[in-house]
Structure 1
Amino acid sequence: MLRVMLIVQKLLQENKHSSKRDIYYTYPSVFLDQSVVDQAINDICILMQCSRHNLNVVSAGNGLIMGWIRFSEGERIFDCISSPNTAHPVPVHVEEVQDIISLAQYILVVEKESVFQRLANDQFCNANHCIVITGRGYPDIPTRRFLRLLVENLCLPAYCLVDCDPYGFDILTTYRFGSMQMAYDTKHLRVPEIQWLGAFPSDSERYFVPNQCLLPLTAEDKRKVEAMLLRCYLEREVPQWRLELQLILQRGVKFEIEALSVHALSFLSESYIPSKIEGKLIM
């Protein structure tokens, strides 16, 4: 950890930024494995009671954003409003984001890039004045920090659309409650206001998802659900979510968001998402 602390000290003194991967390759023969650097960074954050970005250690951005928003990151301007259905990268240096202007009515977070692209192709943001964000799977730190920044600054409702499976549910809880790995920095990363838009287990019946689109839970899926059911915060803060998670286990099946589009390619954009929000069919 001392070696990593010396590298971090140099970054701060020189006002430079580095990724964890860059730090590893500074002394690969000393660190031996990337996990050594990862753990050291976490330990330093806990010791110093700070966030990773305070150490000038940044993550390579993986998230995407589109919709009715304009903002700047340092000298770079992100003008999503001029082309609401065009994807832009989520900013990495979230602490430098300023001049946020938005005409959106809500923020929609989608689990996967494929769904994000489907919405873009359907010109979703033209028909719905909103901001759409994806972390492309499990969200990285910049995506989570940026989402929190937007919710705090714009005071907009935020909805999350994930696959109806254990991993989709885990991604949903990562946005709302944070992750165990980054528990020391939860207050800067969690978005407690986010609501679950879908997909719910009951959606397969409500929206007539064919049986061939319902996949059996694997043994690993079942173990993951059982482990998540032990999380005390679910029962305390979102008991309805926990009931839905139990329902996934009881039914023994899962399905992807795309299964809802089996009857029409643009079903998500034109029917599912708007009807969910307008009818308040969210949790």
Structure 2
Amino acid sequence: MPLPSSGDFFEVLDRHRQSLLDSVEDRVGEDPETVRSDRRSRSDVLLAIENVIQGVVSSLAKGEPPALTIDNRTLWRNIRFDDSVGLQMVPNCTVSRVRSDSFKSTQRFALILKVISMIYKMVQSNTYATKRDLYYSDTQLFGSQRVVDTIINDISCMLMVPRRSLHVLSTSKGCIAGDLSYVEEDGTKVNCTCNSTGVLVPSNVYGIKNLISAAKFVLIVEKDATFQRLLDDDFCNKLSPNIMVTGKGVPDLNTRLLVRKLWDTFHIPIFALVDADPHGIEIMCIYKYGSVSMSFEAHSLTVPAVRWLGLLPSDIERLNIPKDVLIPLTKLDHNKLIGMQKRPYVVCQPHWKNEMNIMAKSMMKAEIQALTSLSSDYLSRVYLPSKIQFGGWI
């Protein structure tokens, strides 16, 4: 199949872009209690921390054991769904008390105060550290990197301060390539067009500026292997101009922030290319609607404009993909699929429900690589160009 003519191709994308722009709602009138600034000044962050410490000191002065109140950010009952924002934490959600006099939470109480003190010093001195730096400052105390990660998110939620304002950075794992250039916070100029393997997503996404691109769309690619294959096939030039992003599986915070920044800056169509399995669908949902654990920052992380381009379960039959490259759903896959069909953002998506029903009925899943059974370059030469030309997304 020949590539679509540039006229037809750009016309389809321009129509889709306009429909997205028409659907963007004015955020000025949103409830101020549920929307926080993308950034908080250093003085605001310091004051928020001081208020917490003052509460601890006041309890001690009264002879009472101090405790910290933290929102339960992992419970679905604390989440509401807004199709223009995604998963959001409800204003008056259930909370947990991290008590200093409880055997079960004493250590957690001490670790939270330890990390808060480290954050306070960094904000005060206007310095930054990665989560990895914090962990290695006392590995025996923290025990694991996961403990540090959880505490930082709890502190961000407790203080009502975006994590980037805490001066704690994450080490990026995602990559970006295509028609994009920008300037990093330290003045380094980055040109993603000139890199044959992709550019690592910056660790401080909000520090980048002067983003320049003529791209007509952004393609989110679930897997790094598929991302690299598309680069090897020169996809960015064959169907240029475009931008490709991969979070190498479940996306880290920086990759999600970057996708949101690309949307806010360029307002061009964003498509997701994921495996036709429950895990791939969930990864797409994280970009589009967010995750439960980070719902308190949904307004700055989610991009509801993301569209599911492929691999669709219906594509498997439509393209006559050989059965020997398909994979049976495991019991875990099937249970996950059933659970996802009940989620609020799937209930309101009839086309998604139809695709998930196809998967449930067939009890089969397929990786993007299954398309190579048709031809080695089928993905870049036929599948993606025809999908985008004919509006094959949902």
TM-score band, normalised by the shorter chain?
A: over 0.9
Paired residues for 1:184-263 under 5 Å: 184-236=296-348, 238-263=349-374
Equivalent residue of 1:160, what SS? strand
Query: Residue 384 of structure 2 corresponds to which residue in structure 1?
Result: 273
In the aligned structure 2, how far is the partner of 1:246 from the partner of 1:205? Answer: 14
Contact in 2 for aligned 1:135/1:143 (Cα 8 Å): yes
Query: Residue 258 of structure 2 corresponds to which residue in structure 1?
Result: 146
In the aligned structure 2, how far is the partner of 1:122 from the partner of 1:39? Answer: 39
Query: Residue 170 of structure 2 corresponds to which residue in structure 1?
Result: 59
Equivalent residue of 1:202, what SS? helix
Query: Residue 137 of structure 1 corresponds to which residue in structure 2?
Result: 249
By how many angstroms is 1:133 displaced?
0.7
By how many angstroms is 1:242 displaced?
2.5
In the aligned structure 2, how far is the partner of 1:27 from the partner of 1:229? Answer: 43
Of 116, 120, 123, which residue of structure 1 is paired with 2:231? 120
Letter of the aligned partner of 1:118 in structure 2?
R
Q: TM-score, normalised by structure 2?
A: 0.69
How many residues align? The count is 281
> Which is further off, 263-272 or 8-17?
8-17
Equivalent residue of 2:299, what SS? helix
In the aligned structure 2, how far is the partner of 1:89 from the partner of 1:29? Answer: 30
Paired residues for 1:17-28 under 5 Å: 17-28=128-139
Equivalent residue of 1:66, what SS? strand
Change (3 A) 1:85 1:36: closer
Q: Sequence identity, in percent?
A: 37
By how many angstroms is 1:29 displaced?
3.1
What is the root-mean-square deviation in Å for CA atoms of aligned residues? 1.4
In the aligned structure 1, how far is the partner of 2:146 from the partner of 2:172? Answer: 19
Paired residues for 1:34-45 under 5 Å: 34-45=145-156
Q: What are the ranges of 5 or more consecutive residues in structure 2 without an aligned counterpart? A: 1-111
Query: Residue 282 of structure 1 corresponds to which residue in structure 2?
Result: 393
Are positions 1:165 and 2:309 aligned together? no
- Please identify the structure whose Cα radius of gyration is greater: 2
Q: What are the ranges of 5 or more consecutive residues in structure 1 without an aligned counterpart? A: none
In the aligned structure 2, how far is the partner of 1:112 from the partner of 1:88? Answer: 15
